[in-house]
Amino acid sequence: MRSAKRRIWGAGCVLGALGLAGVSAAALAQNAPAPPDKVVATVNGAPIKESDLTIAEQDIGSQLQSVPEASKRDYLIRFVADLKLGAQAAEQAKLQDAPDFAQRVEYFRDKILLDDLMFKEGAKADTPEARKKLYDDTVTKLPPETELHARHILVEDEATAKQVAERAKKGEDFLALSKEFSKDPGSAADGGDLGWFTKDKMVKEFSDAAFKLEPGQISEPVKSQFGWHIIKVEEKRTKPIPQFAEVQDQIGNYLVQRAQQTMLLSLREKAKIVQLEKPPAPAQPDGSAKAPAPAQPGASATAPAPATAPK
């Protein structure tokens, strides 16, 4: 669960090269006896320790997904070895004497400390009890929502759509017509099957037409930004409330992000932040777009979900 909670604030692999890996390792070892940190390899005499592999695994976890389990340890050793080789070469080139080097070290130190603070706050908020309470208080009280199981045939022009719709309404097999005519690569081979969906999951024109149909009915041609659709509704039902096991990870992610955002906003409110530079003047009302608001550390910016095109 730790890796899920840390993903928002993962530290870059440059930290090891800067000699800062020990800061994060200390946070990981809080309140636990330190295990023997054995040396697993050396690079020009410099040791690679077990703790280096642990930190590297947290740093590049996404890269390891395609690495076979039996090869992961060797992959990590080679990764850290390359990191140390690069750091040694950089030191020989005196890159650590660059004017901004100390400032960059300070920046990444602050970033690691913030990372650990965010993790601590998220771990405190995401408990089995908190997950279950949020599920009971919100998910189980969701209003009933209708969803459809439907198929569609997507064609490029109205004339073809009318011909296909007429053939379907006369009783020709809808699945066969979809395989023959549909231009939707995601569903044509499967007879145009779109699975179950609620009204907000499809573009408006499609949903408006589909949700007027009863099971077994076939629509007239419907135009959307993707082309012309012929829709057949297979089933209609009230969307079942998801079971706790299906959504508990999403709930945990929400609890973590909410706690992190709340803590950071609280810190801001208590702090005295003085911006010495004047902010840019507001744009004149000439129709130009407004500048986006600054992103909040710890908060994954969530844009409104676009309508899903029928596949």
CATH number at residue 232: 3.10.50.40
Q: Do 197 and 169 belong together in one domain?
A: yes
Specify whether 52 is located in the same domain as 107.
yes
- Residues 145, 200 contacting (CB under 8 angstroms): no
Instruction: Please name the residues in contact with 229: beta carbons below 8 A apart, sequence gap of 6 or more.
Output: 152, 153, 154, 161, 206, 209, 219, 221, 222, 223, 310
Domain co-membership, 87 together with 156? no
Question: Would you say residue 287 lies in a domain?
Answer: no
Nearest Cα residue to 53 out of 29, 74, 30: 74
- 290 occurs within a structural domain: no
Same domain, 199 and 85: no
Query: What per-residue confidence (pLDDT) applies to 36?
Result: 81
Asked, for residue 310, whether it belongs to a domain, the answer is no
Asked if the structure places residue 150 within a domain, the reply is yes
Q: Which tokens is 261 given? A: 């955002």
DSSP-based three-state secondary structure for 157: coil
- Whether 107 and 160 map to the same domain: the answer is no
Residue 284 lies in a domain: no
Tell me, yes or no, whether 178 lies in a domain: yes
Residue where a domain stops, chosen among 219, 238, 257 = 238
pLDDT at 292: 44
Q: How many domains does the chain contain in total?
A: 3
Separation of first and last alpha carbons in the chain: 34
265 and 131 assigned to the same domain: yes
Query: Does 138 share its domain with 148?
Result: no
Residue spans of the chain under pLDDT 50 = 1-30, 289-311
The per-residue pLDDT for 272 is: 94
Rounded CA-CA distance 114/120 in Å is: 10
For the stretch 77-116, pLDDT in tens is 999 999 999 999 999 999 999 999 999 999 999 999 999 9
33 with 99, same domain: the answer is yes
Domain end, chosen from 238, 258, 282, is at: 238
Could you tell me if residue 265 is inside a domain? yes
Full domain range(s) for residue 264: 126-142+241-269
Co-location of 81 and 132 in the same domain: no
Shared domain for 135 and 163, answered yes or no, is no
pLDDT digits (tens, 9 = 90+) for 118-162: 999 999 999 999 999 999 999 999 999 999 999 999 999 999 999
Residues 12, 108, single domain; the answer is yes
Is 298 inside a domain boundary? no
110 and 59 share one domain: yes
Residue whose C-alpha is closest to residue 150's, from 204, 200, 203, 191 = 191
Report the C-alpha gap between 255 and 241 in whole angstroms. 20
pTM of the model: 0.60
